[in-house]
Structure 1
Amino acid sequence: MAIILAIVRISKNPNNQFGGAGMVANIYNPHVEGQQHSACRMKIQKGSNILQIGWRVDPTLYRDNKTRLLAGNKHCFNVLCPGFIIVNNVIPINMAFDKISTRGGKTWEFAMFIERIFTELISFANNVEWGGVAYSPPGVPKSPMGSSFFPVGNSVSDGYCRALTVLNNKGATINVNKTTIYVDDTNLYQVLDDPQVGIGKFKHCAFFGGPGESHQL
């Protein structure tokens, strides 16, 4: 499997109706080379309709190794794609993040929200996920994800998505308190799910990451 996930998600149910989703994510710059890429994303989906947003390091797509804003669907990776609201508008559209978190040091993060734009008859998403995605071509070692270390449940050390929310079918934003963990390869990546919904900025937080098979972190 070339694409590997380390995520938390709302249990799949065809009766779910979500009009959008939100999160706050910290920003890292995992080391990738060639056709590898590594990302943190939030994705909402209904059938073949997908919207996703987050950050991504992708030399093939961006021609550099900078951490850049990822926004799009299956075919469009541009923040000008419809359906996206960048809550932190200090970040220039289509520009790389100039402030990157340091493990054990300063943390930089940004907030985002996806509105629904679906073409199916019932235009609500029924699946939402948050977390990390890594890709390496066949025969190439798997790239690191998040902070490039396994999560320990500490915001200073881990890549994370916090303040997980969804927009329900009545247009109200609600905190997410029930999610499940999915990891393709727990030897390379891990997720810690901390549903601390309540007082405080972190609320529901998913810590994710791992070294992959990289020897250069």
Structure 2
Amino acid sequence: MKNEQTLKILLDEQMKPSLLTRESIPTPSRSATLQQMGLSVEGCPAGTVPIRKYTKEDVIRQKLLPPPEGTVHVVDPPLANRDNFNDSKSRRIKPLKGYKLAIVSTEDNPNNKFGGASMIAAIYNPRSTGQQHSACRLKLIKGKNIIQTGWRVDPTLYGDNRTRLFIHFDDGTNSCFDLLCPSFIIVNQQITLGQPFNQTSSINGKLYDMAFQIKWDQEKGNWWLLIDNVAIGFWPKEVFDDFENFATTVEWGGVVYSPAGVLEPPMGSGLYPLMRSTAANAYCRVITLLNDKGQNIDLLGAKLPTFSTTPMLYVAVDVPNYPGVDYNHTILYGGPGEI
């Protein structure tokens, strides 16, 4: 067994991601802020990180969390049907157990090799009560392994209706949010997972957004989470059985959940996407995709598959050339649900 000093040296080495010296995503111009945790301006003392305190009530609520949502499988349709590729009929999906999606994704191809992805997502506060939840997420998938980040309103998970920063990990056997299982190592001294946002966007009012990025470290093999270009922490390569250097599918967009017999909650801004207008849209702008060598894949002008489980309630729109340098390849998504 390695002694404590050796373990500290190894951890220190892991906490110096080579990816931070490479090209990063643009800093958002309408950055939302996360609620401070009563720390000083400098954050936690050296050698420590902030951890959200979990109470007995939190543990009780977590037993009510629904099972993981599963995976959407986008398949290459026959040549005769390729003009209708964006049709839900051209897709094969795994049952989602009460989940509803409105997403844009890469094609489901086991030969894909993605070394990361990002988005700058508008932060909203869609109404969710009881066991409902509503979220926007960036999701990377390889087989049964899934990592994702974004924002969510989840009374079951957090005990309130505030919009919070989250991550989720699933290896097919274990599934957990934030730091509820030992799958993620946080290194940032000021930001922790599960923190609420101070500001959220309002329809035809002020917009707030935040940059989310998941990126594979080419040298050390870990998957890093960056928020507004700041390293928050990493999923060590050792926690996965087959996710050491690339993902095969990436998804951007919205997800909601409602138990059987309960009306569906709003998604995003609570409105259907409106083209040529950002004042009421939930969006993921300046989306990026990396190959397995950490190089940007040019997505500008490239049409990606869209998918919605319930188009009458929620819609996703892929806009490869959204007007304005602040948007580039943008995804619009959302809908009113049933309430």
TM superposition score normalised by structure 1 = 0.89
**What is aligned with 1:20?**
116
**What is aligned with 1:107?**
207
**What is aligned with 1:131?**
253
**What is aligned with 2:270?**
148
How far apart in 1 are the matches of 2:138 and 2:282? 13
Q: Which amino acid aligns with 1:186?
A: P
How far apart in 2 are the matches of 1:199 and 1:146? 22
Q: CA deviation at 1:171?
A: 1.3
Q: CA deviation at 1:93?
A: 4.3
How far apart in 1 are the matches of 2:112 and 2:259? 34
User: Could you say what secondary structure the match of 1:45 adopts?
Assistant: strand
Moved more, 44-53 or 122-131: 122-131
User: Could you say what secondary structure the match of 1:142 adopts?
Assistant: coil
Q: CA deviation at 1:28?
A: 0.3
How far apart in 2 are the matches of 1:115 and 1:83? 15
Q: Which amino acid aligns with 1:94?
A: G
User: Could you say what secondary structure the match of 1:60 adopts?
Assistant: helix
Unaligned runs of 5+ in 2: 1-96, 217-222, 224-239
How far apart in 2 are the matches of 1:17 and 1:112? 20
**What is aligned with 2:198?**
98
Moved more, 110-119 or 164-173: 110-119
Moved more, 195-204 or 34-43: 195-204
Q: Deviations over 1:130-184 (max 9, x none)?
A: 0000000000001110000111122111101111111211111334333110000
Moved more, 146-155 or 130-139: 146-155
- How much identity, in percent, do the aligned residues show? 44
**What is aligned with 2:282?**
159
Distance 1:90 1:101, change over 3 A: farther
How far apart in 2 are the matches of 1:148 and 1:85? 35
User: Could you say what secondary structure the match of 1:173 adopts?
Assistant: coil
How far apart in 1 are the matches of 2:127 and 2:243? 42
How far apart in 1 are the matches of 2:335 and 2:322? 25
Q: Deviations over 1:82-138 (max 9, x none)?
A: 38999xx98664310010000111000000111244531763111001000000000
How far apart in 2 are the matches of 1:41 and 1:121? 19
Moved more, 167-176 or 151-160: 167-176
The answer as to whether partners of 1:91 and 1:97 remain within 8 angstroms in 2 is no
The answer as to whether partners of 1:10 and 1:178 remain within 8 angstroms in 2 is no
Q: CA deviation at 1:187?
A: 0.6
User: Could you say what secondary structure the match of 2:156 adopts?
Assistant: helix
CA RMSD of aligned residues (A): 2.4
User: Could you say what secondary structure the match of 2:260 adopts?
Assistant: coil
2:305 is the alignment partner of 1:205:
no
User: Could you say what secondary structure the match of 2:330 adopts?
Assistant: strand
Q: Which amino acid aligns with 1:126?
A: T
Equivalent residue runs for 1:172-183 within 5 Å: 172-176=295-299, 177-183=302-308
The answer as to whether partners of 1:71 and 1:84 remain within 8 angstroms in 2 is no
The answer as to whether partners of 2:270 and 2:334 remain within 8 angstroms in 1 is yes
How far apart in 2 are the matches of 1:83 and 1:172? 25
How far apart in 1 are the matches of 2:185 and 2:102? 25
**What is aligned with 1:10?**
106
How far apart in 2 are the matches of 1:85 and 1:194? 35
How far apart in 1 are the matches of 2:123 and 2:312? 23
Of 73, 76, 79, the match for 2:169? 73
User: Could you say what secondary structure the match of 1:76 adopts?
Assistant: strand
User: Could you say what secondary structure the match of 1:163 adopts?
Assistant: strand
Q: Which has the higher contact order (CA 8 A, sep 6+)?
A: 1
Structure with max Cα Rg: 2
User: Could you say what secondary structure the match of 1:147 adopts?
Assistant: coil
How far apart in 1 are the matches of 2:184 and 2:99? 25
Aligned length: 212
